[in-house]
């Protein structure tokens, strides 16, 4: 599947406040188009199937289905969605033994510094080296 900018992005977190802040930050960057939000892993899997985003930014700790399991199910699907898991905790503190197939893992406390370089690494064919900081 050929991707183009802006990246169709699905935001997933059980905190509406966090999702609101993240969306407000991302809409200032022309490389992202927020196509939807979900509040659980179950909703995320359904939304990926319906919306077919290029990128999913998803919290690890959520009710009904955590981010690791949701990422695994998303990656098993036909659409080649890139999944970045986010958490307040280190990856080894959240689930050492879970093989989610996520493309990246970022800590929430450094998300705004690490997200753009991570997306540039995951989408090198789209991203210009001179991405302005937000």
The model's pLDDT over 67-92, given as tens digits with 9 standing for 90+, comes to 989 999 999 988 889 999 998 765 54
Using the predicted structure, report yes or no on whether residue 95 has a pLDDT greater than 70: no
CA atoms of 6 and 3, how far apart (whole Å): 9
- For residue 98, the model assigns a pLDDT of 54
Domain layout of the chain by residue ranges = 7-122
Record the tokens describing residue 18, joined without a space: 């966090």
Average pLDDT in the chain: 85
The model's pLDDT over 40-65, given as tens digits with 9 standing for 90+, comes to 999 999 999 999 999 999 999 888 89
Instruction: Determine the CATH number of domain 7-122.
Output: 3.40.50.2300
- For residue 117, the model assigns a pLDDT of 92
CA atoms of 53 and 23, how far apart (whole Å): 15
Record the tokens describing residue 98, joined without a space: 């879970």
SS3 69: helix
Record the tokens describing residue 71, joined without a space: 């990422």
The model's pLDDT over 19-41, given as tens digits with 9 standing for 90+, comes to 999 999 999 988 899 999 999 99
Write out the H or E segment, with its range, that includes residue 47: helix 41-51
This prediction has a pTM of: 0.86
- For residue 92, the model assigns a pLDDT of 47
- For residue 57, the model assigns a pLDDT of 97
């Amino acid at each position: 599947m050929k991707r183009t900018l802006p990246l169709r992005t699905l935001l997933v977190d059980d905190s509406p406040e966090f999702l609101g802040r993240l969306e407000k930050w991302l809409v200032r960057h022309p490389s992202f188009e927020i196509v939807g939000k979900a509040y659980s892993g179950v909703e995320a899997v359904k939304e990926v199937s319906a919306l077919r985003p290029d990128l999913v930014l998803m919290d690890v700790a959520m009710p009904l289905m955590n981010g690791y399991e949701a990422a695994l199910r998303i990656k098993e699907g036909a659409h080649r969605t890139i999944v970045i898991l986010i958490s307040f905790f280190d990856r080894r503190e959240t689930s050492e033994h879970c093989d989610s197939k996520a493309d990246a893992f970022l800590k929430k406390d450094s998300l705004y510094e690490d997200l753009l370089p991570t997306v540039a690494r995951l989408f090198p064919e789209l991203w210009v080296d001179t991405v302005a900081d937000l």
